[in-house]
A and B are shown apart, each in its own frame.
Chain A
């Protein structure tokens, strides 16, 4: 067992770091940061667009996707190394969620040929239309309907927390196609453009918007959305996978999207930020690193971060070898966000009262980035599958514990 990187992989890391040093200007970093770019869709500013074109030309977008679909046919560790470096620089080079892996797994040849190259070139982007206001943490409670009408489906209903709806070209929507089936059956997935008539986007502003989080904040978004569908008519070719089998496709896509660096890195970056800050700064002439309690806490958090890293490596290894991947992504999705909360809270404790000041305070440290991270960190434990749901998946799929049973109704005597 060798955990070291090869000489080629180390050379790639140096190459990416040099590229970032040469190309990621302050203007680009501001445009690509989801918090500071709240009034301008992420990655669509001219500097960011030019940067992504250069990254694409270097072959660093869609590394693990087949060459036939515009990818590089590369391995996941190469993707991980590149993604790790860009994430540290605040540049998101992922393909934006579970749409791409689901299309590769369940899409028709036409869907793969259309979507995958465009996702890699960032000409197409998906928002995720899964959550609904009344459904709670159980996605299978969804009610948004898609009714077959000739060669079309007609969609009516609404979605909640469609975070990228205001900046995406397409939606990856889960809707109910059979009202009489059991709740996990009768669900289908559709892919279609956001300019289809009948789609309405209503902004929801989050805690991160007042004041807007500064550059360098790695959790949460300033804006999410409600999305409404009024008689939205789409062609049957928008269906992904089989009709009424969407639950399986959606779950698989979500699980595969959890493999990789991004979810682990947003937490680990916090560890790196505080270590660097403690090394560089002093409180009233006193270096924080001289405080044994601070050293102890930083070491504890660093060890937790290594657990994130090793879990990610294991997931990538399983998927790379074509192994059975069922609960491992769920375990990562518990550990990484909860570590993110712990490290964010620990940092504010280390910084004392200054650690809670947002960017509007003249006394805020690092423009308030650490305080903003505390607020945003809680989102990552909820979105994309709450940690409670993830733990349930680990228990059932990983440890083979039985599913919950509803208690029998107690009849009044």
Chain B
């Protein structure tokens, strides 16, 4: 279980990446309500909502260092 770097809420990485469907082109689809993620400096960070992810995007170092 990951911790959202913005709101500190719990995020289930497996659920965020779990396949819930398939596009007609054959790509895996996921449930958007299970959170999202961002690839930052070689690491995937998990967020409970797009809102948190957007805040992180504006100031990633601040959230990772706890100064945001």
Residues of A within 8 A of B (CB): 41, 44, 125, 133-134, 143-144, 156-158, 165-170, 193-195, 199-204, 226-228
B51 → A minimal CB distance (Å) = 12
**In the complex, chain A residues whose CB is within 8 Å of the CB of B40:** 134
Count how many pairs of residues, one from A and one from B, have CB atoms less than 8 Å apart in the complex. 66
Known contacts: A41-B24, A167-B25, A170-B25. The answer to whether A134 contacts B32 by CB under 8 A is: no
Contact B27–A203 (Cβ < 8 Å): no
B contact residues vs A (CB 8 Å cutoff): 17, 23-30, 32, 36-40, 50, 53-54, 57, 60
Using Cβ atoms and an 8 Å threshold, which residues of chain B touch A133?
38, 53-54, 57
Please state if A200 and B25 are interface contacts (CB–CB under 8 Å). no
Residues of A within 8 A of B38 (CB): 133-134, 158
9 more CB-based (< 8 A) A-B contacts, given A134-B57, A169-B26: A41-B24, A125-B25, A134-B38, A158-B38, A200-B17, A200-B29, A200-B30, A226-B36, A228-B37
B residues within 8 A CB of A195?
25-27
Q: Which of A41, A125, A194, A227 is most buried by chain B, counting CB atoms within 10 A of its CB?
A: A194
With A133-B57, A200-B30, A204-B50 as known contacts, state yes or no: A193 contacts B36, CB within 8 Å: no
- The answer to whether B39 touches A202, judged by C-beta atoms less than 8 angstroms apart, is no
Given A166-B23, A194-B25, the answer on whether A156 and B39 have CB atoms closer than 8 Å is yes
Check A44 against B17 for contact (C-beta < 8 Å).
Answer: no
B46 to nearest A CB, angstroms? Answer: 12
> Nearest-CB distance from A121 to chain B (Å)?
16
Sort A-B residue pairs by CB-CB distance and give the 9 closest, nearest first.
Answer: A195-B26, A194-B25, A194-B27, A169-B25, A199-B27, A200-B28, A201-B27, A166-B23, A134-B57
Q: How far apart are the CA atoms of A156 and B41 in the complex, in Å?
A: 11
Given contacts A133-B57, A134-B57, A156-B39, contact A201 B30 (CB under 8 A): yes
Question: How far is it, in angstroms, between the C-alpha of A158 and the C-alpha of B40 when the chains are bound?
Answer: 10
**A143-B39, A157-B39 are known contacts. Are A193 and B17 too (CB-CB below 8 A)?**
no
Minimum distance in angstroms from B11 CB to a CB of chain A: 14
User: Which residues from chain B contact A226 at a C-beta distance below 8 Å?
Assistant: 36
Q: Please name all residues of chain A whose beta carbon is closer than 8 Å to the beta carbon of B57 when the two chains form the complex.
A: 133-134
Residue of B nearest to A195 (CB): B26
A49 to chain B, nearest CB (A): 12
Chain B nearest Cβ from A114, distance in angstroms: 16
Contact of A194 (CB < 8 Å), options: B26, B30, B36, B54? B26
Nearest CB of A to B57, in Å:
5
Instruction: Name the A residues within 8 Å of B39 (CB-CB).
Output: 143-144, 156-158, 228
